[in-house]
A and B are shown apart, each in its own frame.
Chain A
Amino acid sequence: MMISLNNRKEEFGMNTISVGEMLKLKKFTFKLRIIKINGVLVSKENYDSTIIHDGDDVQMIYLMSGG
C-alpha cells in the first residue's frame, strides 16, 4: 500500500498498518509528536488501534520543548 507521510509517498508491504506498527517500522522513536490521518488527530492511546489504509494522508509533527 502507498500512503502520504508528511507529503512524501511512502510504500509498505502490507495492506493496512496500525499507527503504532508504522512508527516502529519507520523507527520513529521520538516520543512527543502529533499525528493526523486525513485531517483527524489520533490520540497517543489510540496508536495501536488506529489503522492506516492505502491512500491515507498521514501528517506527523514533532513537539520540541521550549516556549
Chain B
Amino acid sequence: MKFTEIRSHLGRFKVGIAGAGGLGSNCAVALARSGVGTLVLSDFDIIEETNLSRQYYFKDQIGMMKTQALKENISRINPDIIVIDNQEILDRINIPEIFSECDVIVEALDRSDMKEMLIETVQLKMPGTPLVIGSGLSGWGKSNAIRYKKIDDTLYVCGDESSESSPDIPPMAPRVGIVANMQANTVIEILMKLN
C-alpha cells in the first residue's frame, strides 16, 4: 500500500487524545504526520519550561494552553488536519461527550488515578471504542522492557507497566517518545483494519 493511499484511508477517521503532555503531544504529531483526519485534544494545562524536556512544544510557547499550542504545531505540519481542542478537566460525565464519535481514544494522562478514571469511563460508558493506554515510561534505557499488549479488541497497553515517575526517575524524551509513538502505531494498526 502506498503512503498516499494509507493517508487517504486514515483521513476519514477521528481520534481522541486525553492529555497533551509528553505522551499526548508526541502521539498527536505522529498521527497528524500520518494523515489521521480529525484529532480531538484535551488538556487543561499551560506549557511550562520544564515540559520542553519531552513534550512537543517550543520555548516561545511557554504560557500557552497546551491544546492551543499543539493545534498550532500540527497546523504547521499539516494544515488539512482538523484539530478540536478542549480545556475541561476530564471527568466521568464529560469524557463521553468530549470524545463522542471518536474511532479510537488515546489515554495520555499523567496521574495514575486519572488514568484509572478515564479507562473505567471509556470501557463502561463507551463500549466498543478502542482505547490505547500508556503505562510505564519513566527513566532511561531498558528499551526492550517497553512493549505493546492487546488485552482485547477495546483495550491496548503500551509501556513497561513498571517504571513509575518520581523525582529520581523522571519522564525523559526518549522513553516517553517511544511509548507515545507506540500508541500512535497502535492507533494506526486499529484504523487500518476499519472500513
Taking a contact as CB atoms under 8 Å apart, the answer to whether A41 and B123 are in contact is: yes
**Distance of A65 Cα from B22 Cα, bound (Å):** 12
**Distance of A43 Cα from B125 Cα, bound (Å):** 12
Taking a contact as CB atoms under 8 Å apart, the answer to whether A66 and B113 are in contact is: no
CB of B157 closer than 8 Å to a CB of A: yes
Q: Which residue in A43, A44, A61 is a CB contact (below 8 Å) of B135?
A: A61
Given A32-B113, A34-B116, A34-B119, residue A64 in contact with residue B19 (CB < 8 A):
no
User: Contacts of A34 on B, CB cut-off 8 Å?
Assistant: 116, 119-120, 155
Q: Which residue in B110, B123, B176 is a CB contact (below 8 Å) of A65?
A: B110
User: Contacts of B137 on A, CB cut-off 8 Å?
Assistant: 64, 66-67
8 Å CB interface, A23-62 against B: 32-34, 36, 39, 41, 43-44, 59, 61-62
**Distance of A46 Cα from B59 Cα, bound (Å):** 46
**Distance of A33 Cα from B163 Cα, bound (Å):** 14
CB of B186 closer than 8 Å to a CB of A: no
Determine which residue in B22, B155, B162 has the highest number of CB atoms from chain A within 10 A of its CB, and name it. Answer: B155
The minimal Cβ–Cβ distance linking A27 to chain B, given in whole angstroms, is 16
Taking a contact as CB atoms under 8 Å apart, the answer to whether B135 and A62 are in contact is: yes
Interface of B is mostly: mixed
The minimal Cβ–Cβ distance linking B23 to chain A, given in whole angstroms, is 4
CB of B189 closer than 8 Å to a CB of A: no
Taking a contact as CB atoms under 8 Å apart, the answer to whether A66 and B152 are in contact is: no
Taking a contact as CB atoms under 8 Å apart, the answer to whether B111 and A65 are in contact is: yes
Taking a contact as CB atoms under 8 Å apart, the answer to whether A66 and B164 are in contact is: yes
8 Å CB interface, B133-147 against A: 133-138
Q: Which residue in B124, B138, B151 is a CB contact (below 8 Å) of A66?
A: B138
Taking a contact as CB atoms under 8 Å apart, the answer to whether A67 and B119 are in contact is: no
**Distance of A43 Cα from B119 Cα, bound (Å):** 10
Given A36-B151, A62-B135, residue A67 in contact with residue B161 (CB < 8 A):
no
The minimal Cβ–Cβ distance linking A6 to chain B, given in whole angstroms, is 9
Taking a contact as CB atoms under 8 Å apart, the answer to whether A66 and B136 are in contact is: yes
Determine which residue in B108, B109, B138, B151 has the highest number of CB atoms from chain A within 10 A of its CB, and name it. Answer: B151
Given A32-B115, A34-B119, residue A65 in contact with residue B164 (CB < 8 A):
yes
- Across the A-B interface, the 5 shortest Cβ-Cβ residue pairs: A66-B165, A41-B123, A64-B136, A65-B112, A63-B112
